Amino acid sequence: GAGVSQSPRYKVAKRGQDVALRCDPISGHVSLFWYQQALGQGPEFLTYFQNEAQLDKSGLPSDRFFAERPEGSVSTLKIQRTQQEDSAVYLCASSVGTSGGEETQYFGPGTRLLVL
C-alpha cells in the first residue's frame, strides 16, 4: 500500500495475556520506529530498527516488551503478560533511510490496545 499500515486496529486483552502488534512500513523504507501514545499524551519513542537490526530499544518500558523485524520489512511488537498500564495506542512509523538529511517519519494509524 501507499502508507504505513498496522494491524489489528483495535485489540482488547485480558490482564496477563500476550499480544502481538504488526506494522507494515512503506515499501523500501529502511528505518522503522515504534511509539506508545497514552490517552491525552504525545507519542513516546519505544524502539528503532535499521533494516533488521534493532539499534535502539531504550524506550521499551520493561522486559515484557519485545520487538522484531527479522527480514527488514514487517515488524512485530510483542507485549507479554499485559498489564492495565499497557493500555495505549501503539504507533509505527517508517522513514526512507538513515543518512540524515530530510528524513520524514511517516506514521501508521496505530493499534489501540485496551487491557482489562
Q: How many residues bind other proteins (CB under 8 A)?
A: 34
- Please choose, out of 11-19, 49-57, 62-70, 74-82, the segment that lies near other proteins by the rule CB under 8 A: 49-57
Residue appearing with cell numbers 527480514: 71
Least CB distance to other proteins at residue 68 (A): 18
Rounded Cα distance, 21 and 93, in Å: 13
Check binding of 51 to other proteins (CB under 8 A): no
Q: Judge whether 94 and 106 are in contact, CB under 8 Å.
A: yes
Using CB under 8 A, pick the residue from 19, 82, 95, 115 that binds other proteins: 95
Strand partners, 24: 5
DSSP code at position 115? E
Using CB under 8 A, pick the residue from 40, 63, 70, 71 that binds other proteins: 40
